[in-house]
Amino acid sequence: MFEGSYVALITPFSDGTVDEGAFQSLVDWQIREGTHGLVPCGTTGESPTLSHAEHERVIELCVEAAKRRAPVLAGTGSNSTDEAISLTRHAKQAGADGALVVTPYYNKPTQEGLYQHYKAIHDAVELPIVIYNIPGRCAVDMSVETMARLSKLPHIVGVKDATNDPVRPLRTRIACGPEFRQLSGEDAARLALLANGGHGCISVTANVAPAMCAKLHNAWNAGEHDQALAVQERLMPLHEALFIETSPAPVKFAASLLGLCSAAVRLPLVEPTPASRERIEAAMRSAGILN
């Protein structure tokens, strides 16, 4: 569990509310296309603008649609420890297989504060927890030493690494051990992480190219490293185009071109500019996922 191509699911909207039908259809399509795991209510799912009721409902919808065909790693992080505990408790109750818990944003806790935050969630809920370390959005970077301390707790099982530090995965592997799950939080860096002992990727690109993303990881695990590299090279322009503006606006536009959902995002995010749309569409055609 917690390896291969996981998709950081978008949350489709219609008339300002969660489009439950489109979301569950997306989950089903992802599984049929070969995606190895599902991550609802992460950054790509616009969790900062979901109400608590919407957040909990999206996780329930994901578990329901998955029907145990693929693991569900539910986003349950918050910069309030009590709120993160509440969301994690709900995820367990809903039937999620694990919780993805982002480092507390805005508060800028110390390393000891980070340790105590995750330990409190760990002690309150018996559910596997994957740390989400993304300094660019949270203004705090969990050190390898703090992660090593946390890895000793039985329910802290891995990290989604979005540091873009090519050395970090190997340092983490040495500090936390080879069984500690390491998932790339950057599509463009997934092969580098795999080469340094990582286990998979929580992918934005997989929202629109699930079969290709799964193929990359299947090839890598089969020892077909040249094949994995070839897939990554083909996807690289798409990886870059999907971050031409703040995610998930570009990937939701890309999904709309495939008829998966509308391109609507919630303020303060806005839909991509015409110039960005052209680049996204061109990258999709180059990758062969749009005729």
Annotated catalytic residues are 132, 160
SS (H, E, C) the chain: CCCEEEEECCCCEECCEECHHHHHHHHHHHHHCCCCEEECCCCCCCHHHCCHHHHHHHHHHHHHHHCCCCCEEEECCCCCHHHHHHHHHHHHHHCCCEEEEECCCCCCCCHHHHHHHHHHHHHHCCCCEEEEECHHHHCCCCCHHHHHHHHCCCCEEEEEECCCCCCHHHHHHHHHCCCCEEEECCHHHHHHHHHCCCCEEEECHHHCCHHHHHHHHHHHHCCCHHHHHHHHHHHHHHHHHCCCCCCCHHHHHHHHHCCCCCCCCCCCCCCCCHHHHHHHHHHHHHHCCCC
